[in-house]
Amino acid sequence: MAKQDTIIRFEEVSFAYGPKKPILIEVDFNLRRGSKVTLMGQNGAGKTSLFGLLTGASKPDAGEIHVDKGLSIAIARQVIPREDLKLSVRDFFQKMFPKKVYDIDPRIDRVLDAVNLAVPDHDKLVGAFSGGQQARLLLASALIQDPDLLLLDEPTNNLDHAGIEHLTKFLQEYKKTCIVISHDAEFLNSFTQGVLYLDVHTHKVEQYVGNYFDVVAQITARIEKENRANALLAKQIQDNKDKANFFANKGGQMRMVAKRMREKAEELEEEIVDVRREDKTIRSFTIASQPELIGEILGISSFTTIKNHKPTKRKAEISLKKNTHLQLVGPNGIGKTTLLESLANGTADAALAPGVRVGYYRQDFSNLDFEKTVHEELSAVMEKLIEENLRTVAAGFLLTGELVHTKIGNLSEGQKGLVAFARLVLLRPGLLILDEPTNHINFRHIPIIAEALNKYDGAMILVSHVPDFVARIRIDEVLDLAK
| Pair (85, 197) in one structural domain | yes
Backbone φ and ψ of 464, nearest 5°: -155, 140
434 part of a folded domain = yes
pLDDT higher than 80, residue 338:
yes
pLDDT band at 275 (very low <50, low <70, confident <90, very high): low
Class of residue 239 by CB neighbours under 10 A (exposed 0-12, middle 13-18, buried 19+): middle
The pLDDT of residue 277 is 58
Who's near 352: CB < 8 A, 6+ residues apart? 297, 298, 343, 346, 358, 431
Residue 235 has pLDDT above 50, yes or no: yes
Q: How many domains does the chain have?
A: 2
Contact 188, 38 (CB under 8 A): yes
Pair 208, 336 in one domain:
no
Residue 210 and residue 300 in one domain: no
Please give the average per-residue pLDDT across 294-322, as a whole number: 88
Show the CA angle centred on residue 397, arms to residues 418 and 415, nearest 5°.
35
* Confidence grade of residue 36 (pLDDT, cut at 50, 70, 90): very high
State the DSSP string of 235-302: HHHHHHHHHHHHHHTT-TTHHHHHHHHHHHHHHHHHH---PPPPPP-PPP------TT--SEEEEEEE
Q: Are 463 and 365 in contact (CB under 8 A)?
A: no
Q: What pLDDT score was predicted for residue 448?
A: 94
Bridge partners of 444, per DSSP, are none
Residue 287 lies in a domain: no
Q: Which range is least confidently modeled, 65-79, 270-284, 372-386, 452-466?
A: 270-284
Give me the residues paired with residue 208 across strands.
Answer: 195
Indicate whether 318 pLDDT > 60.
yes
Same domain membership, residue 301 and residue 209? no
**351 and 452 belong to one structural domain:** yes
pLDDT, position 2: 45
Query: Is 361 in the same domain as 468?
Result: yes
Task: Give the whole-angstrom CA distance, residue 479 versus residue 335.
Answer: 12
Domain-embedded: residue 267? no
244 occurs within a structural domain = no
Whether residue 339 is found in the same domain as residue 454: yes
What are the residues whose beta carbons fall under 8 Å from the beta carbon of 98, sequence distance 6 or more? none
The pLDDT of residue 1: 40
Q: Name the least confident of 191-205, 253-267, 420-434.
A: 253-267
Is residue 38 domain-shared with residue 169, that is, in the same domain? yes
This prediction has a pTM of 0.71
Mean pLDDT for the stretch of residues 345-358: 90
Answer yes or no: is 19 within a domain.
yes
Query: Does residue 327 have a pLDDT over 90?
Result: yes
Mean pLDDT across the chain: 88
Band of the pLDDT at 376, cuts 50, 70, 90? Answer: very high
Domain membership flag for residue 368: yes
Q: Give the whole-number percent of the chain exceeding pLDDT 70.
A: 98
Out of 196, 216, 236, pick the residue that ends a domain.
216
- Closest among 439, 465, 361 to 155, alpha carbons compared: 439
Q: Residue 68 pLDDT more than 80?
A: yes
User: Quick check: 151 pLDDT over 90?
Assistant: yes
Host domain of residue 211:
3-216
Same domain, 193 and 55: yes
Q: Counting runs of H as helices and runs of E as strands, what totals does the chain give?
A: 14, 17
**Domain stop point among 174, 189, 216:** 216
DSSP letter, residue 350? E
Q: What is the pLDDT of residue 158?
A: 78
For residue 98, give the CATH number of its domain: 3.40.50.300
For 41, the 3-state DSSP assignment is coil
Residue 95, number of CB atoms within 10 A of its CB: 12
What is the distance between the terminal CA atoms of the chain, rounded to a whole angstrom?
54
Q: Which of 168, 187, 216 is the last residue of a domain?
A: 216
Q: Which of 41-45, 69-73, 116-120, 206-210 has the lowest mean pLDDT?
A: 41-45
Question: Is residue 22, in this structure, part of any structural domain at all?
Answer: yes
Clarify whether residues 211 and 304 are in a common domain.
Answer: no
Strand partners, 480: 329
The verdict on residue 269 lying in a domain is no
Sequence-separated contacts (24+) of 241-249 with Cβ below 8 Å: 241/265
Q: Tell me: do 334 and 450 sit in the same domain.
A: yes
Answer with the residue of higher pLDDT: 257 or 14.
14
Same domain, 167 and 37: yes
